[in-house]
Amino acid sequence: MEKRSNAHNSRRNKNLGPRRTLNHLENQPSQALNPSRFEMFAMRALMRVFSKQKQAAARILTIEHGVVRANRTILAVDDGISTRLISSWSHAPKSALPAPQLSIDSIDVDDRANSSRPGTPTAMIDFSDSSTAHSQKTTFELLRALAVFRVCQVKWIVDNAKMLLNVSNRINTTITEAIVERTFYKHFCAGRDSVDMKPVIDMLQRHGVRPILDYAAENEGGESDEGISPQDAEDILTHPPFNQPARIYAYKSEEDCDRHVEIFRDCIHSVRDVSPCGFAALKVTALGNPELLERMSTMIVETKRLFSKFDTGKTGMVTHEQFKECYRQYFRAEDDEIAKIIQDIDLDNNGMIDYIEFAEMMHPCQLPTFTKQCTDVGPLALATPSDEEIALMQRMSERLHTLAQEAADCGTKLLIDAEHLKYQPAIDSLVLELQQKFNDKGKTDRPVIFNTYQCYMKDAAERAQVDLERSERFGFHFAAKIVRGAYLHHERSRAEELGYESPIHDSKEETDRCYDEVVELLLRYRSEHGPGLEVMVASHNQGSIERAVHLMQRLGIQCADNPSVHFAQLFGMCDNLTFTLGKANFNAFKYLPYGPVGEVIPYLLRRAEENSSVLDKTGDEIHLLLDELKRRYSFV
């Protein structure tokens, strides 16, 4: 009976001629890749999930000598009897499409002739090549990426992710973290520490991509206590002026901040060891109490509002006479005292005072000197820090200066991440201090400290322009990372809850326009003023990347010889942009978050939320991953 069956199968295969079944192909050696049965099973399952058409509408394909004779995305189907190949989509895979055209004017002949930069012309860069984007991944990593992005498309899961994690943790924290680690953590994070990250960093550098190391623990703080609580041995009790309620800052928070200094120091050393021109990223909320940062931000915002009252003509400039008149209105002071203040802050002695000079006078640590002379207790007086808070602010500044000095000594650049708006003015103030010292044109020809500008903020372009002017006035190299922003939902919800106008642009189109305008402002400044300024175009938007590359070529900015323009994307996202730019000899970087699983969960929640909010982008990611699977397994 067995011989008869074998003979029957032999005759059947002979009659099929060059036609082969998928089961037959699985048993044949492959010159490129020989998938395991597990991989084949997983691919079949996932391809069924991602299929958009009904199986009944699909047509059976044949394979001649192992080659699919159709330019279509195809799907393996196992009906329990035999395995067949059916078509699931009628469109050509993205890797077969022509390279995308630039969304701005294409490069003309004169532009190309004037651009001496070696590398691939913009019009020849193909961001739709799945091989360039994903050839470095194993098949299992491709399948995991597909699963992660598919989950990001399920809005209910993303919207309730924090609740689901809390419920799961109550059941079993160990199992929860194990699941998160093997899925979202492995996809979006590079590892627990520098040793764990080394294979990832080595892989990136083999493909022309450099690392940005980012300890991804996030401290979002809590609500400030109102009223005096019993002083505990582990608390710092503050005594603000003007009969404000005391505030309590935990010593444990300070201890955690000191511990984070050592973590960031190790991060800087790791960058030095693996990438001489690399970056380390840090979050200021990891180095200071978030409630203290929020207090500092309130002081800075109220200072800006006070300047607008001095600026009665709304010109952005205050004359000496205007300053004297307004100062007498809000503060008690003699004429000679006011004259001394004017002399100290009008640094260029041009008879006018602008916000930059005014803000220098009203630094948070110097605020009590002025507010104790207030004629009335207003918002600025109520924002005045206590002596204890000033000591905590100085301690936070010392931590930042320690790390900045370490970065300068190691030749590593330091990216200061943007955070929630309620902390950002304080962060900007601290970064400005660092830039004045460590980006000083008299001491270095390259910047060390980079600030971050979130272009979904309505005032992003204005802030960039003001800080550019600051860099000229105080003689330091301007350096910036330009992003769209990562806290959109939080900022809008907070504005609605507290009843103030949303600081976020009303539409994505406005954010896109702002982003491209800020990048163009900085690139043109770099072209006109020469080396010194550096900008990191950190974006997952292909159009913005293409515009920046095109403008660089028009302006003759040569990254290979003078790396003043960098491109960066997050690990686990938009590999088609990063690896294509790296292959074309641009300064391409991957942001590599790392840290213990439990500490980076807030970061992972933001990544899931971001991918959920840009479903079109997630769909593009899925298509490229499927294209790479098809490239490897042409019979799938």
Give 274's contacts (C-beta < 8 A, 6+ positions apart): 198, 201, 205, 211
Q: Which two tokens stand for residue 46?
A: 């996932």
Inform me whether the pLDDT recorded for 527 exceeds 60: yes
Find the farthest-apart pair of alpha carbons in the chain and give their distance in angstroms, rounded.
115
CATH architecture assignment, domain 129-220+252-291+398-613: Alpha-Beta Barrel (3.20)
Mean pLDDT for the stretch of residues 39-68: 44
User: Of 85-94, 262-271, 386-395, 464-473, which range is least confident?
Assistant: 85-94
Question: Is the Cβ–Cβ distance between 491 and 556 less than 8 Å?
Answer: no
- The pLDDT score that the predictor gives to residue 538 is 96
Measured distance CA(398)–CA(461) in Å, rounded: 30
- The pLDDT score that the predictor gives to residue 565 is 94
pLDDT tens for 105-119 read 333 333 333 333 344
Helical residues (DSSP H) of 411-456, grouped into ranges: 424-438
User: Of 255-259, 513-517, 547-551, 604-608, which range is least confident?
Assistant: 604-608
Question: Is the Cβ–Cβ distance between 6 and 619 less than 8 Å?
Answer: no
pLDDT tens for 315-373 read 999 999 999 999 999 999 999 999 999 998 887 888 999 998 898 888 888 888 888 88
Q: Which two tokens stand for residue 420?
A: 């929630």
Please provide the DSSP assignment of 118-154 as one string: -S--GGG--TT-HHHHHTTS-HHHHHHHHHHHHHHT-
Answer with the residue of higher pLDDT: 391 or 224.
Answer: 391
CATH 1.10.238.10 is the classification of domain 300-382: yes
pLDDT tens for 121-171 read 555 688 989 999 999 999 999 999 999 888 888 888 888 888 888 898 889
Residue ranges covered by each domain of the chain: 15-92, 129-220+252-291+398-613, 300-382
Please provide the average confidence, as pLDDT, over all residues in the chain. Answer: 78
**pTM score, whole prediction:** 0.77
Measured distance CA(163)–CA(154) in Å, rounded: 15
Question: Is the Cβ–Cβ distance between 142 and 625 less than 8 Å?
Answer: yes
**Res. 486 pLDDT band, cuts 50 70 90:** confident
Answer with the residue of higher pLDDT: 8 or 489.
Answer: 489
Half-sphere exposure of 465 (CA within 13 A, CB side): 10
Inform me whether the pLDDT recorded for 610 exceeds 90: no
HEC-encoded secondary structure of 203-246: HHHHCCEEEEEEECCCCCCCCCCCCCCCCCCCEEECCCCCCCCC
Inform me whether the pLDDT recorded for 85 exceeds 70: no
Measured distance CA(77)–CA(175) in Å, rounded: 33
Inform me whether the pLDDT recorded for 617 exceeds 70: no
Give 222's contacts (C-beta < 8 A, 6+ positions apart): 290, 291
- The pLDDT score that the predictor gives to residue 47 is 56
**Res. 29 pLDDT band, cuts 50 70 90:** very low
Q: Report residue 79 CA to chain centroid gap.
A: 45
Mean pLDDT for the stretch of residues 177-197: 89
- The pLDDT score that the predictor gives to residue 363 is 87
Would you say the C-alpha torsion 26, 28, 29, 32 has a positive or negative sign?
negative
**Res. 411 pLDDT band, cuts 50 70 90:** very high
Question: Is the Cβ–Cβ distance between 590 and 104 less than 8 Å?
Answer: no
Mean pLDDT for the stretch of residues 507-528: 95
